[in-house]
A and B are shown apart, each in its own frame.
Chain A
Amino acid sequence: MNARRIGAVTAAAAIALGLAACGSSDSGSGSGSSGSASADAPTGKKIKIGTKFDQPGLGLKKGTEMSGFDVDVATYVAKELGSNAGDIEWVQAVSAQRETLLSSGQVDMIVATYSITDKRKEQVSFAGPYFIAGQDLLVRADESAIKGKADLDGKKLCSVKGSTPAQKVKDEIPGVNLQEFATYSECVAGLVSKAVDAVTTDDTILAGFAAQDQFKGKLKVVGQTFSTENYGIGLKKGDTEMCTKVTDAINKMIKDGDWEKAVQKNFGPAGYKPSDQNPPTPAACA
């Protein structure tokens, strides 16, 4: 083997890999559907929706199937905008990238446990809220000692590293024994094996885990929220026309009972009831 040949092989490999990388760039966004079967047929009006892929009960990709409350809301809204479930291209929206996915036009909307905050409003427009969540605690079903945040003193709590919920609890209850992981599923595994006493984050995320088949009847959401998270649908900044349409869709979904059905379907098995601020009244678009 001489240098030229090695060089050629290397270059060819680089090109092949480059192509492979291009070719698979959309592999992470398979299209799936969870809407009613009758409305699956594509109409041709494509829509790209960003959501979580790894959040049971909210946005979960299992095989090519999408499921969860966020997915149901997104599917309903898409339908109101003229796109059937078959037209939806699901794009994974990890938290760090949500704003840029919208501003760069890689998705048309984001429905991904996206809390409406003033800081985010500087970069994106929100329709909604379509759900009012709050920070809560997940405990084992037979737990009786933990009824709210105040009982956490000296208890073993688990949350995600660097997340706001973890920091909030730590600041308020210095006596809490906090383990931080990279994801909530690791925390839930710890909770089931009795190594931690509680997991904290938004009640929706917790209910999503508790509603999973594997954990049904083993875990419960305490139901004493100690923060308010207004989940909104993220849209490109300043697109008021779209915002109005989406807001109308959310209103319609709440009114015709599909919203309640989606809540029941996704969180019902956990025995979890949304806080009484729900269903929310979406704010008018600015």
Chain B
Amino acid sequence: MSASVLFDAPGPKARTRHLILTVIGALLALAGLWVVIGKMRQAGQLEPALWEPFVTDKSVWVDYLLVGLWNTIKAALLSVVFAGLFGLLLGMGRLSENKWIRWPAGAVVEFFRAVPVLIMMIFLFFGYFAKAETLPADWRPLFAVVIALTLYNGSVIAELVRSGVHSLPKGQGEAGLSIGLTPQQTLRAIQLPQALTAMLPALIGQFVVVLKDTALGVQITYPELLTWAKTLGSSYGNTVPAYLVAALLFILLNYAMTKLATWVERRLKRRGTTAGKVTNAMPTIVQGGAEPGGPAAAGTRAVVAGAEETIESAIESAKERRNDPGW
């Protein structure tokens, strides 16, 4: 945070002003909360009977929310793993010397980045998997969810891979070529490993996006957290509290993942096993430029102009991903 340079240490007048603003801010927040609670009470949503099950009834957690949570995590993990593999392949495709590989890979990336995940899910499920007799019934929505998320996030990761490799100092690639490795070998043995390590925090960040997006599975009957919250609401007649608790679980889970990404980032920076710039877990300094190789807004080669550093680092676009509102 460079916010401190925006203002001086406050003088007596400013302190009073800040105090007034503090009081006003706090009062507004409290008033808002008060109104919400009052209204909920009026509507009978605060009746203990609606909330008690969350504390007294173990079944609420064991048979509903935790089952949903696990399905959410399962779908997200599967999607992230497959998206990682798919993205790695596509990313290598985009980095290929051969234009017959580079261009189709680029087209695939651009297409799946542009199509909303929900559209893909609806189509995959109702169009294909709901009728796929060879699959067990409760796998079908899972497949649709995972494939849709893999296609979208795979294209996003492909871009991460590409920009990650571009972000490495030129010397890395040149050194590889000069010791007689082919461009492919250089990519695989020297550039990709470093780029991937640098990408790790961004990958965990992408996991948050995936986790949130699994909630779209509710539209195609995938039994994730939201679906189970819905079922919980049906069984206990407390739809609104159930949704609120589910939302809270999502927030906590994603917040924890974000913290994990920050931690990994810090660790990687300390260990310094990559020549690339380790992606930030939280977006801080991003300045977009254009990627010469990309047809569209795909890669954003970013220039870091922080207080003490001016390092060219295309992987900055990965930071942007941390700030990805989904798809």
Question: Using a CB–CB distance below 8 Å, which chain A residues touch chain B?
Answer: 1-3, 6, 10, 13-14, 17, 20-21, 24-29, 53-56, 60-64, 91-94, 96-97, 100-101, 103-104, 106, 182-186, 188-189, 192-193, 209, 212-215
Contact = CB atoms under 8 A, between A and B. Distances in A.
B48 to A, nearest CB: 12
B263 interface: no
B111 interface: no
B234 A185 contact: yes
Interface of B: 43-45, 49-50, 59, 62-63, 67, 70, 74, 77-78, 81-82, 84-85, 125-126, 130-134, 136-140, 142, 188-189, 192-193, 196-197, 218-219, 221, 223, 230-231, 233-240, 273
Contacts of A184: 234
A104 B133 contact: yes
- Please give me the 9 A-B residue pairs with the lowest Cβ-Cβ distance, nearest first: A214-B237, A3-B193, A104-B133, A63-B59, A189-B239, A185-B234, A54-B231, A94-B221, A193-B43
B59 A183 contact: no
A3 B189 contact: yes
Given A97-B130, A214-B237, A25 B85 contact: no
B235 to A, nearest CB: 5
A189 B239 CA distance: 7
A3 B188 contact: yes
B13 to A, nearest CB: 48
A166 B130 CA distance: 23
Contacts of A6: 193, 196-197
A266 to B, nearest CB: 14
B237 A186 contact: no
A3 B197 CA distance: 8
B84 A28 contact: no
B61 to A, nearest CB: 11
Contacts of A182: 218-219, 230
A64 B139 CA distance: 21
Given A100-B130, A189-B240, 20 more contacts: A1-B193, A6-B193, A6-B196, A14-B82, A17-B78, A25-B138, A25-B139, A27-B67, A53-B231, A54-B230, A61-B231, A62-B63, A182-B219, A182-B230, A185-B230, A186-B230, A186-B239, A192-B44, A212-B237, A214-B49
A92 B222 CA distance: 11
A54 B221 CA distance: 12
Contacts of A54: 230-231, 234-235
A10 B231 contact: no
Given A17-B74, A97-B130, A100-B130, A183 B230 contact: yes
Contacts of A106: 136-137
16 contacts: A1-B197, A2-B193, A21-B74, A54-B230, A54-B231, A56-B235, A61-B235, A96-B221, A100-B130, A100-B132, A182-B218, A193-B43, A193-B44, A209-B237, A213-B237, A214-B50
B236 A214 contact: yes
A91 B137 contact: yes
A54 B232 CA distance: 8
Nearest to A104: B133
Nearest to B219: A182
B224 to A, nearest CB: 12
Nearest to B140: A97
A97 B143 CA distance: 14
Contacts of B45: 193
B298 to A, nearest CB: 24
Nearest to A212: B237
Nearest to B67: A27
A91 B85 CA distance: 33
Given A17-B74, A17-B77, A92-B138, A28 B237 contact: no
B273 A189 contact: no
A3 B137 contact: no
A179 to B, nearest CB: 14
Contacts of A103: 133
Contacts of A61: 63, 231, 235
A96 B239 contact: no
A64 B81 CA distance: 32
B63 A63 contact: yes
Contacts of B139: 21, 25
Given A21-B142, A92-B138, A192-B44, A3 B192 contact: yes
A96 B237 contact: no
Contacts of B130: 96-97, 100
B138 A10 contact: no
Nearest to B196: A6
Contacts of A183: 230, 234
Most chain B CB atoms below 10 A, which of A14, A27, A29, A97: A97
A129 B221 CA distance: 27
